[in-house]
Structure 1
């Protein structure tokens, strides 16, 4: 427990004494009645609190003189003192302000009002720290994630029936990633209090062999960031080059060891901005505060990777391409369950692509997109020469479109299906050149994989003695084949511009869709702030 919290508890022990002896002995029954009436009145504005206190005949849980009441107060105040550590709005959960209000409550009616207020603050804190401050879809419509909200009545009933301190300690996410982000947040806050990473590195770029003031500034910043040991070198030598590569790897940049304009831009991002990213990542982690599956697929959109995770360890990872940045092509965020893969898939063209891209092309030239079949409502191919495409618009076009299995198919040779209302899946692609780029946002929303065959082998390894042989035997037929997964695998499409490796290395990525900036603004509106801490 921190020294601050120890002082806080001693201070509140005195407050407990004040509360215990503030009520005169005479007329205790009348005062108890007045207290309960005040609780009933205050709780009536909240259905959950009204139900909870009604079940207790409006007896308090916070403001009494018993040891249990005192333990609950102390535990709540200690939790509130650490709210800022978790990136919660510290002003809303200010323990000193709460103690002052309690001390100022002298009459039974005032104590009853504070009783309900403490329960209200407890419920707000419990939800904020366990499942997040924000409703994500209200901030970013492309976040389709179902936040695992808990019962508010269950919170307060569970708290009363449990050890107060243990119950409150159990509320934050227990995931290793949350713990690592919390640790890195506190490290960055201490760093901010001590001046950050020092002076920015100026100039358009630096390369191995360079020397001078720019190289010295680069060296000093890399040392401050922890990417190299202290050094007196004033030349861009092999040590600096290796440190630059480590920085580039941690920021999703091409690790060529040259401090070009893009690398310097990331290098010069201030500590306060990085803190914002970590706080947003912690909020996002709270939105996913539920089991992810011992085996699951983790697609970090802004890292442009898709990984198979087994017991929180990456067992396979490949590069990915995500939806383009146009508002109608961005990949959404959600979780679902992968049930099967399709080898030699047909591509059934989404309606939006048909009417927005292919119909205009067909109206100009009926032989356009000739590699795509045009089919009627029964799936039969139609003869283009018999259709006057100019008579149709986006609403009236009566046909579907399909690309048969082939190496040139838009889905490549395999797709991985987790049925969802957004028609999003993982798939192969013939457009392999895009995987060499740093920023890979080019698709219509689905996730393209650089090494889909190896991805398939890894998925099949738990159910096939020879996963590669089995997959290739299906592939060689050239026919579309569905392969069910014996044990369906959860899939999580996430967006983390700040994340850690299991080693604790903090990584940052670009805010490709400008989602995290919107989330930060929403958090700031709720009172969340970047802070600097000593120690």
Structure 2
């Protein structure tokens, strides 16, 4: 919506409202017509109905006051920015709204318009603040995050308690990440409008010292993407090596300066594909638009990036590599937020029922001595003798649990970090250290393994002891299972971002290892989100 169109529309409504008031003095019949229209149109929404009853059915949009004019002008201006936020502009049906504004001639019509504006405002405000997809779990079952939806009263009271423009400006996430994603979106849209990044690089493998048409295509692609200064070289020289290495780092690839395999696949990704990743990331950021923020100190685990990070006052203070759940649907790490309140040093591993039934019971049925590193325990925690046959048990009838005591071979290593949740997900050490050198690290049953768990523990304990290393190591050396509470629980956010940003440098992109972003993009597209005016 252009500004002249917006102002003309606001003026039409102002003229209609003024002429209605001037030509027909406010008799009881006229007021009743407006009230009747409002009451009829809000009957399906208890919160909105209560709001209008509490203010005696006085309008907030369609009256003739300066305040009404300011609110409807601010709303139309905000709707004009919906596209920049990656929102479904057609959903708000501005054309129909403007037509309705221009056609108001009676109190009843003005009442219907009043409610239509309120409903439009609430739809837009909720989409902008906490996301277009109301129930992400209905799209991807592993997204079990609680979306911080606000009541209608929050938006309506907020609109009246502040400058409308100021309040509307607070709705979008205020994080630096969201602002940088918006900028990345604009850059990609500009790239698409100007022809993209040119021809893809032909298949093959390109190494330092190579020459030829493929190297020229690679050079041109790197220049177009901003990784290489303009040059006429046809040789895979040192500048191209540096450019490829930087590209690999920005895309979570093995940094070796060679273009082939997954590096070539990622180089040939289209700006349209990258734009979809950015727009899905913006939607995900809206899901994290929590009333109290992510936490002054918080832990962020990006499942696609295979890293766990601690942030203090918005600054990264600790980082370690991670291993996350396998791509199999029943082993993927879910997305949610909770609070870490303790760690366990020298932990036992209490084997999840799903693993017992699927992996260990079939072995025990054939051989009671199988998986001997695990104890079989009864309902009271007592160790059960293996001098028996387990062949008579099925997955439903097996009455025992299984436990691995603390020790060097324990599946959880030497420490686990607990944020108790119904999904039985936590962070922990692991004896399988070789997996941290892999490019794609999806090997666990769902929990998050840490490459540097001791340093992670020291960082957490530093706030409550002057000697975090000594404190931790003394309990580790005891060999006993020891619970250590955190004096200040730390919010943990398990997120999934195939596009994210750094304060400086290129936008980061990662592979959609679980296919979740593809599913979310389809849902956003179905809701009306578009790229370049074309729904895809």
TM-score between the two structures when normalised by the length of structure 1? 0.96
Kept in 1: contact 2:125–2:171 (CA 8 A): yes
Residue in 2 aligned with 1:118? Answer: 117
1:18 equivalent to 2:19? Answer: no
Kindly state the Cα deviation for residue 497 of structure 1 after the two structures are TM-superposed. Answer: 0.8
Cα deviation code 1:261-318 (max 9, x no counterpart): 2111111111111111111111111111111111111100110111111112111111
Q: Any idea what SS the aligned residue of 2:370 has?
A: coil
Structure 2: tracts of 5 or more residues without a match: none
> Who is 2:213 aligned against?
213
Q: Does the 8 A contact of 2:10 with 2:72 survive in 1? A: no
Partner in structure 2 of residue 55 of structure 1:
54
The CA deviation string for residues 368-404 of structure 1, in whole angstroms up to 9 with x for no partner, is 101111122222222211x210111111111111111
Larger deviation: 106-115 or 511-520? Answer: 106-115
Q: In structure 1, what is the equivalent of residue 158 of structure 2?
A: 158
Are the structure 2 counterparts of residues 8 and 117 from structure 1 closer, same or farther at C-alpha, using a change threshold of 3 Å? same
Which stretch has the larger CA shift, 25-34 or 304-313?
Answer: 25-34
1:22-421 aligned at under 5 Å gives the runs 22-23=19-20, 25-26=23-24, 28-29=26-27, 30-134=29-133, 135-290=135-290, 291-385=293-387, 387-421=388-422
In structure 2, how many angstroms separate the alpha carbons of the residues matched to 1:207 and 1:113?
A: 67
Is the partner of 1:389 in helix, strand or coil? coil
Cα contact 2:306–2:323 (8 A) shared by 1:
yes
| Structure 1 residue 17 displacement after superposition | 4.1
| Other structure's SS at 2:331 match | coil
Shift of 1:6: 3.8
Equivalent-residue separation in structure 2 for 1:91 and 1:224 (angstroms): 32
- Structure 1 residue 504: deviation in Å? 5.4
Higher mean C-alpha displacement, 119-128 vs 449-458: 449-458
| CA apart distance, 1:464 | 2.2
Matched-pair contact (CA < 8 Å) for 1:344–1:413: yes
- Note the alpha carbon deviations across 1:95-149, whole angstroms, 9 max, x for none: 4442222112333322221111000000111111111111111111111111111
Counting only pairs closer than 5 Å after superposition, residues 446-465 of structure 1 correspond to structure 2 as 446-465=447-466
8 Å CA contact retained: 2:13, 2:101:
no
Corresponding residue of 2:523: 522
**Structure 1: gaps spanning 5 or more residues:** none
Alignment partner of 2:23: what SS? coil
- For the residue of structure 2 that corresponds to 1:277, the secondary structure is helix
Shift of 1:59: 2.1
Structure 2 length-normalised TM = 0.95
Partners of 1:176 and 1:417 in 2: how far apart?
Answer: 29
C-alpha distance in structure 2 between counterparts of 1:28 and 1:151, whole Å: 33
**2:64 and 2:446 mapped to 1: Cα distance?**
59
Structure 1 moving runs of 4+ over 6 Å: none
User: SS state of the match for residue 303, structure 1?
Assistant: coil
Give per-residue Cα distances to partners, 1:438-461, cap 9 Å, x unaligned: 111111100011111111111112
Partners of 2:354 and 2:10 in 1: how far apart? 65
CA contact (8 A) 1:180 1:504 kept: no
